[in-house]
Amino acid sequence: MKRIGLPLAALLTALSLTLTACGGVSEDDLAEELADNGGVSEAQADCIAEKVFDSDLNDDQIDALGSDAENLEDTDLSAEEQAELLEVFTTATTECITE
């Protein structure tokens, strides 16, 4: 299994800071930011974004990726929603990077 280069929490924080100008996050925006700033290839970034958007996350959870919050705890998401977002993102990243 390949090792993931960036800690996922740090990656989520970086994404939230770079996607803030969008006002809402699209699958293409997420893939582009992952490829540009996430240390993953374009194919891996596309895979991660697709899995995140195909998940059962609600719009608020997806939009949290583009919030200007320093971390997930600073969003309006409940602790349960934060945990679910981190789990989906972690699983997607792990699956897409190790394929």
Residues with Cβ < 8 Å from 92, sequence gap 6 or more? 47, 48, 51, 52, 55
Residues with Cβ < 8 Å from 10, sequence gap 6 or more? none
Tell me the C-alpha to C-alpha distance, in Å, between residue 82 and each of 32, 38, 39, 54, 72: 23, 20, 23, 17, 6
pLDDT of 70 > 80? The answer is no
CA 37 vs. chain centroid, Å, equals: 12
Average pLDDT over residues 16-21: 48
pLDDT value, residue 49: 93
pLDDT value, residue 64: 84
